[in-house]
Amino acid sequence: MLTVKQLFQADGLDVVEDQIKLVRHVDHLNRSITRIVDEGHFDFYQTEQSPTVKPFHKCEVLLSFIGIEGNKAEFYGAYEVLGDVPPVVKTPR
């Protein structure tokens, strides 16, 4: 089996494993990923991550896939991670 890191190294790119993350987006919290993509909102949808998702804190490149039937996925795009912002915490009134 070939890893993404090995694939990049075969092309002459020297990468650290934590720098590249693969994400397979699927329907979640009653939100249809297909509808989000079809309506042109995928890039915005993808920018939101739970503050508990720590594996992304050192990430420099995000490879995004859209989940399809079973455990298959279609490649959607590669994104450079430009940074992060602290989550907005809503306080009860």
pLDDT at 33: 87
For 69-85, letters b (16+ CB in 10 Å) and e give eeeebeebeebeeeeee
Question: What pTM, to 2 d.p., does this model score?
Answer: 0.71
Please report which confidence band the pLDDT of residue 26 belongs to, taking 50, 70 and 90 as the band edges.
confident
pLDDT tens readout for residues 38-92: 999 888 888 776 666 666 777 888 889 988 888 888 889 888 888 776 666 777 7
